[in-house]
Structure 1
């Protein structure tokens, strides 16, 4: 091959540098990898994000937080079975549990509640957007409850024991409106067999 190349070069048919280029090994192009396609930051990020687990759905009870008005702590809840169960479990931490329902057993929400002590002083005055209201009262004694929805008011007198000497200290009372109240604008929620099963008076209610 060298003899032929030299002869061709002597005849002036081809230049030696040109022949060298023809027979030289191809050089890799700058920026390329011999192993194949390169991995970009975008593709790496896509791989990691696709393997991430979705966040768990929030529980319906996450919205239930105690609130305080003056010295009285309260919590409204009970929309749906999970909330209702949660509120009944938490009742042991409160003095009074009020349940709002129709006489047919359907729960009611959007109830304006006014609670006063024996001297007539306002202890709690709120609009409860749920069918169960838990109240931690400042002290034991007799309280008057006025609950109104759709322009129809109910009045109850409840007696709350001082302290929490035993598990059954909670005064529980169901306030039951005629069915037409829900039809007039009271906000019905899920039908609750638990509203009937608790009993109209409960412990310490009158």
Structure 2
């Protein structure tokens, strides 16, 4: 009979657990998402619950960086692992990172969203921040100037039915009209600062995709 004997042992200390979620539908993100620590070469272990576990990190402030692949925007957050600091992170609690979608994200059917391109004349504007008045969410335009803004909660009081127009075969439609008006899309920042403050109203159909370019 074979006899097993323990010849060596080692232990590792859990420094950080990172939970990455899909900001649109919740749960684990789809596609090739990668998590790393900018200040370290330590690679995480992904457990069956989809947490990214980092062991034996330096006891200092570190940056958790998430590469969203093609379907999500990259994200990052700073975590202090210094036990002497007043804001040190508890290793028993996961750091949560919610990923926002890019235009390549497979949005679920029935979600109200607007997709388009931000243009300065005929030139696409890359890296600009686009938002909607009254909503906290902002999106960043891609290198082709594209953006998608989605609305995850629309009150019934803000939905208006527009009857069909028999003169041009326009079907009836449900529109998102908070306060009785079309929502206002605004550019709060752009790489050269020239588009900051630009605003325009957009007719948004409820429960489907609206395609509309924003032209300065």
Q: Which has the higher contact order (CA 8 A, sep 6+)?
A: 1
Whether TM-score is above 0.5 comes out as no
* TM interval, short-chain normalised: 0.3 to 0.5
Pair member with larger Rg: 1
Task: Give me the TM-score of the superposition, normalised by structure 2.
Answer: 0.32
Task: Give me the TM-score of the superposition, normalised by structure 1.
Answer: 0.33
Structure number having the greater strand percentage: 2
Structure number having the greater helix percentage: 1
